[in-house]
Amino acid sequence: MSDMEPLLAAEGVGHVYAGGQLGCADVSFQLYPGEILGVVGESGSGKSTLLACLSGAIRPEMGQVRFDVGRQGLRDVYALSEPERRMLMRTEWGMVHQNPRDGLRMNVSAGGNVGERMMNVGARHYGQIRTEALDWLNRVEIAPERIDHLPRTFSGGMQQRVQIARILVSKPRLVFMDEPTGGLDVSVQARLLDLLRGLVRDLGVAAVVVTHDLAVVRLLSDRLMVMQGGRVVETGLTDRVLDDPQHPYSQLLVSSVLQA
């Protein structure tokens, strides 16, 4: 990928919370179009803080997060205006939350949730919006007759699938995923991961996936970063890191999964 321009570049990103608690420190990487980066670590490892810094939720105290905005090339996300950052999240970025209630409007129908995202990128014709919303709900295995049902009437797994349809319908260039299968039954997790992998690969979307579940990153990610105490302790191709971890903490993570 050396001949390609990165889509997202983190350079020495760090954040310290009030009271001196370290969130993350000196995190650097480049993410290329169509590439999926997994970030793993136990609770408190810094992965959620890093995701917040990357996605515009927390302004990092150190370093830069740059995104390819088109003709202007890579620009510092936090040098953009607040409206510009909001527009990125509504159009070229997407966030798949662990709790789909954080990513859906629960008082708006499933089709309406998908349609709203389409309107963010310029769709205006009601018939076309409804037809495409129906197509996307079908892609994520939501029955056509449920298009006008409210998400609160759906199971957790169905809500997550509606959230995925809502995000991917606009064909974003970059998606952030925060524990995308957390809280779901194992059988539901497996089906959702297969679905998500297929959709993301088909669209050529770049993604950052934060999780504590190594099975999730093995299935979804091309490259893996292992975090401990707010810092990256190992990085590399996903299969290499999981099959032959070099850092003692990575070895502990992998062995704990194998012994579970």
What are the φ and ψ backbone dihedral angles of 173, each rounded to 5 degrees? -85, -25
DSSP string, 108-125: S-HHHHHHHHHHHTT---
pLDDT over 90 at 187, yes or no: no
User: What pLDDT, in 10s, does the model give residues 66-122?
Assistant: 999 887 789 999 999 989 888 888 889 999 999 999 999 999 999 999 999 999 888
- Give this prediction's pTM: 0.92
**Six token digits for residue 258:** 């194998």
Q: At 60, is the pLDDT very low, low, confident or very high (cuts 50, 70, 90)?
A: very high
- What's the pLDDT at 164? 93
* H-assigned helices in the chain: 47-55, 82-90, 110-120, 126-139, 156-168, 186-203, 214-220, 238-243, 248-259
Q: Which residue has the higher pLDDT, 37 or 122?
A: 37
Contacts of 221 (CB under 8 A, 6+ apart): 36, 37, 38, 209, 238
- What's the pLDDT at 74? 92
Q: Which residue has the higher pLDDT, 219 or 258?
A: 219
pLDDT over 60 at 226, yes or no: yes
Instruction: Please give the share of the chain, as a percent, with pLDDT higher than 90.
Output: 73
User: What pLDDT, in 10s, does the model give residues 127-179?
Assistant: 999 999 999 999 999 999 999 999 999 999 999 999 999 999 999 999 999 99
- What's the pLDDT at 184? 81
pLDDT over 50 at 219, yes or no: yes
Which helix (H) or strand (E) segment holds residue 223: the answer is: strand 223-228
Residue 187, CA distances (Å) to 192, 194, 219, 256, 258 in order: 9, 11, 15, 21, 19
